[in-house]
Amino acid sequence: MNAPVKLAYSACPHDCPSTCALEVEVLTPERIGRIRGAKDNSYTDGVICAKVARYAERVHHPDRLMHPMIRTGPKGSGEFRQATWEEAMTAAVEGIQAAEREFGAESVWPYFYAGTMGLVMRDGINRLRHAMGYSRMYGTFCTSLAFAGYITGTGKLAGADPREMAKSDCVVIWGTNAVNTQVNVMTHAMKARKERGAKIVAIDVYRNGTIDQADMGLVLRPGSDGALACAVMHVLFRDGHADREYMAKYTDDPAGLEAHLQTRTPEWAAEITGLSVEEIEAFARLVGTTPRTFFRLGYGFTRGRNGAVNMHAAASIAAVTGAWQHEGGGAFHNNGAIYNWDRSLIEGLDAPKRHTRTLDQSRIGAAAAGHHPARPAHRWPWDRAPRRGASCAGGAEGGRSGLHTSRRQAAA
C-alpha cells in the first residue's frame, strides 16, 4: 500500500480577490504535486481555478527561469548569459547608485505591480523607496476607477460577505467573467441557484462563459454601465420598488437622486447601452421584486474611462432597493478595508524621506522621457497618515459617506 501523500497548507499567492486556501501535495522536499482547494475554508469550499490546481507544472517546468541573466548583445537580440545572484545584485545596485549620484535619489523610480506577490513581497519595495527617497508611484492602471466609484458610495472598500451569495435569490455578476476568472463566485452563486432557485444575471461587454450560464445575460456597450444602472433605478422609483424608508435612514440624498433619474428612462438607456427597452425593464423588475439581490461588481469597471461613475451607479441600485438590509443582498466589490492592516513596517511609512514626487504608473513612457509632470509631495490622501487597509497598490480607504451604506455599517 502506498504511503499517504503529505499535505502542506497554504494560501494562493496570486493577486486574486478569492485568496483561496490551498492543500498542497508535498512529494519530496523539492517537489510539489497536485494542489486542491481547502474544504474547510468556507469561501474556497474545496474549489480552486484550473491554473493554480496545475501549479506544479509551472513551478517545475524545465523552461522556468532559475538564474539571473545579463544581456550580452544589443537590445532585442535575445542574447544573454547566465549570471550569479551576487553579480546581478551588484550590477543593479551600481546602476541605481550611479543614477543617484548624477541625478539625485528621485531619478530612481521603483515600478511594480501585483501578480504573484503578497503584501510583504510586493509592498516591501515601498520600504526601500521611502528609506532611500526614491520617486513614488501612483498606481493607476488596475483598480483605481472601480475603487473610487465604490468608495464614493459606501465610504469604505467593503461590502456584503461574498459567502452570502449562497443565500441570495438573485445574484448579479456585473463586469467580471466569473466562470473563467472568479470560480468561487460561481460556487456560491450556483449553490443559491440549486438550493433556493436563485436567478443569476450576468452583465458584461461581450458574450462570455458567465453569460452563457446565466438566466439573464446583458451585453452592453463598453463604458455604458452607468446608463443601465440609472435606467434600472428610474424604473425602481417609477414602479414603487424603491425602499424609501431605507433610503431616508441610510442614504444622503434620495430626493436628489430621484429627480436626477426622471429623464433616465429605459428608452434613454437603450440608445446608450445598445440593450433593448425590454431587457432593461426585465432586469429592473427582477431586482425590484427580489429583496435578496446580491450585486457582485467586478474589475471590468476599471477598464473603461467611465469606470468610477459606472461603479458608483451600479452599486447604488442596492441602496435604492434596500438590498443591503437582507442577508444574501447588498453589493460587493472588494473587502480590502476590513482588515485594518498597519502597513508602516512593510512600506516604511514612517521613513523621513518618503515625501518625494509621485509619478503616474500609467504614464511610464512620458515619465521616462521627462514629459510627465510629477505630483508634488503631500498631494495624495495617504500622505497624511500611514495608509491602512487598502488591499492593492491603487486602492485607498476613505471617501465621503455617500449614497449607500451597508447594514453592517448601519448597525455599527
Whole-number minimum distance, CB 155 to ligand SF4, in Å? Answer: 27
Q: Does 12 bind ligand SF4 (CB under 6 A)?
A: yes
Q: Which three cell numbers mark 342?
A: 498597519
Among 38, 52, 280, 314, binds ligand SF4 (CB under 6 A): 52
Residue span binding ligand SF4 (CB under 6 A) among the ranges 12-20, 81-89, 169-177, 241-249: 12-20
Residue span binding ligand SF4 (CB under 6 A) among the ranges 11-19, 62-70, 388-396, 400-408: 11-19
Among 24, 38, 48, 257, binds ligand SF4 (CB under 6 A): 48
Among 23, 36, 38, 49, binds ligand SF4 (CB under 6 A): 49
Q: Does 317 bind ligand SF4 (CB under 6 A)?
A: no
Cα dihedral 212, 217, 218, 219, rounded to 10, equals: 10
Q: How far is CA 381 from CA 42, 57, 138, 395, in A?
A: 35, 43, 11, 11
Whole-number minimum distance, CB 118 to ligand SF4, in Å? Answer: 12
Scanning residues 233 to 262, which ones bind ligand SF4 (CB under 6 A)? none
Backbone angles phi, psi at 359, to 5 degrees: -110, 145
Scanning residues 70 to 99, which ones bind ligand SF4 (CB under 6 A)? none
Q: Does 14 bind ligand SF4 (CB under 6 A)?
A: yes
Choice between 179 and 313, CB closer to ligand SF4: 179
Q: How far is CA 377 from CA 98, 319, 382, in A?
A: 24, 37, 11
Q: Does 265 bind ligand SF4 (CB under 6 A)?
A: no
Q: Which three cell numbers mark 322?
A: 434596500
- Contact status, residue 269 vs residue 218, Cβ threshold 8 Å: no
CA 404 – CA 297 distance, rounded (Å): 15
Secondary structure letter of residue 49 according to DSSP: -
Q: Is 136 helix (H, G, I), strand (E, B) or coil?
A: strand
Whole-number minimum distance, CB 49 to ligand SF4, in Å? Answer: 3
Q: Does 403 bind ligand SF4 (CB under 6 A)?
A: no
Count the site residues for ligand SF4 by CB under 6 A: 10
Q: Where do we find the cell 459567502?
A: 163
CA 48 – CA 34 distance, rounded (Å): 12
CA 80 – CA 86 distance, rounded (Å): 17
Among 19, 140, 265, 409, binds ligand SF4 (CB under 6 A): 19
Q: Does 286 bind ligand SF4 (CB under 6 A)?
A: no
Site track 169-208 with ligand SF4 (rule: CB under 6 A), x = hit = --------------x-------------------------
∠ CA 161-162-164, nearest 5°, is: 75
Q: Does 16 bind ligand SF4 (CB under 6 A)?
A: yes
Q: Please name which of 172, 154, 160 lies closest in space to residue 290, comparing C-alpha atoms.
A: 172
Residues engaged in binding ligand SF4 (CB under 6 A): 12, 14, 16, 18-20, 48-49, 52, 183
